[in-house]
A and B are shown apart, each in its own frame.
Chain A
Amino acid sequence: MSNLKTFTNGFFKENPVFILLLGLCPTLGVTTSAINGLGMGLATTFVLLMSNIVVSLVKNAIPAKVRIPSFIVIIASFVTIVQMVMEAYMPSLFEALGLFIPLIVVNCLVLGRAEAFASKNSFGKSVLDGLGMGLGFSFALTILGGVREILGSGSIFDMKFIEGDGMLVFVLSPGAFIALGYLIVLINKINKKAA
């Protein structure tokens, strides 16, 4: 696969949220607003990128039998770094994302890419894949967050454009499921047209 393809893969063709259906817990849990979605997406991108880098560099040193626990430890270390940096420098985002920050470590996307890609590909390709998938993930989360924010609170990126509240159900849990369902239909249609 060419380098450009490896990178753009994560946006539409193999978008982790809409197509691969990985990392759904944070997707539904934090997308109450666009900025939360974007924040979570970027935090996950950092972890994904760093763990892809480390895994692709040490892949030959890890015996096959313990590779999953080793990947998990590598990922957990970067998640801890993200946790501490966020708590110190972005306290409001840290509060908003709450429990889902440590849960990045069990995000099937991160472990999945380490296992399926970084452990079998070169450093360069793993960087591109990590960036592509991570940004695709952030893209999906921001869009879902944006839709839910516009419909549910009548604002976008915390700038309100209507008085009062919108359709509150969208910032609550049912709205997450429903909005994501319709978004998947949309993405499938876009993919079909492009194919």
Chain B
Amino acid sequence: MDSLVPLFLIIPLGIAFIIPLAWRFIQGFYRYLPAAGMLAMVVMAFNMLFSLQGESIEYMVGGWQPVDNIPIGISLIADPLSLMMLIVVNMIGLMAGLFSIPYIDKYTGENYYYSLFSLMVAGMNGVVLTGDLFNMFVFLEVSVIASYALVAFGSSRDELEASFKYQVLGGIASMLILFSLAMTYWYTGTLNIADVSLVLRSDTGSNTTLFIQLFMIAGFGLKAAMIPFHAWLPDAHSSAPSPVSAMLSGVLIKAIGVYAILRLFFSMFEMSVEMGWVITSIGALSMVLGVILAIGQWDMKRLLAYHSISQMGYVMTASGIAMVVTASGGDPGVAALALAGGLFHMFNHAFFKGLLFLNAGALEYSTGTRNLKELGGLQDLMPVTSLTNLGASLSISGIPPFNGFFSKLIIIIAAVKGKFYFLALLAVIVSIITLASFMKVQRYAFLDRLKSPKLAKVKEVPFLMTLPMIVMAIMCLAMSLMIIPGIRDTFLMDAVNTLLSKIS
């Protein structure tokens, strides 16, 4: 079982390098290769999750075993949380990979697209698995460099401009992260996450630690597009090709932004009330401002991009609550509940937001526009897109029995139990505004009457595009089952316990 862990890096990296070398020789195989690889990784991740039963395994890359308990090599750690992230990343990657096959057909240089796509997934898998800070930085750069290129893939005016903006802000974020890593190394003399946490355990609240933590929040917050750092996200996510937007919004901001923040601030640093409040306030700010910015948008993908900021705000708020409660010595049950709600919402968001971006891509593919004012009356012409979009809209705005309802409910219950009444109220209000905003999408795009005679000839998208949308809509319903006790323990509570119990 141990030796399977590096396959999560080898498969996507291998695919990324085979395609540019061999695409000339075998016609068209590269279209299916990334999807096949990701299917294999989803199966492997499920298998490991079931066979490990809440345990975690550590794989030393290159066989460099620790000397006198001091790690000298890079370790890959597969624990329930990282396995859940791997499942989500590769599942969304599989769906977006299938969706790309008809969608990317109109672009030139398709082989490079699939190669960059695999490289992005390889980077995310690396960030999720690694147990070493510098290695995390390297994989983070691998995935963001691939995503810079993918955002600019169509090389039209918008895409190039969005990519440039994204690169400048992403470059600054990488520098902040690298600087905080340099400070961590200077202060603790090690970069292994478990080892750093052992060193930092003895000192709580020293100024140096606070300094490092603030730089890390700024760096990873920029990558996760939390509100004061969000300027690049609406441009980059709305200009990219739709399957790439689904990947960026669905998993990239989680894997390299929110997941990294959770990992570092729960497992590596000592939890402190101050940092908990910083994370909570950033999250609450993103939650509210994101949805307010979203409601006036008429470009469907731009609207979805602002909603990503808002929904990630929920995750950050919930994790911040968990951190404040734990650090101030409150009820561990409340902390676990808040964190469970946050993680559950993060997994759910990957599915419904990925689905919404695929729907926007299907609309653009069929009608050539994503301006809601120009669309209308497509319900009968595009039944699959319309129905799956309705499912995802209900899911994101928290209507039972869809998954979004349960995760938001858990977050709100945890906030009330922890006596954060104001945050609970904000979460409810934001959820209502989200519903209003998605009713607008549904009405203008699918209900209404046909606005122009051009639209009368619109046809439903090809099978390879409808299949991922249907599968993801079913997942939106099926993930509600994660609330049932037996299933919850395997998929959710093990991951929560990974974060809340420190490595000893």
- The answer to whether A and B assemble together is no
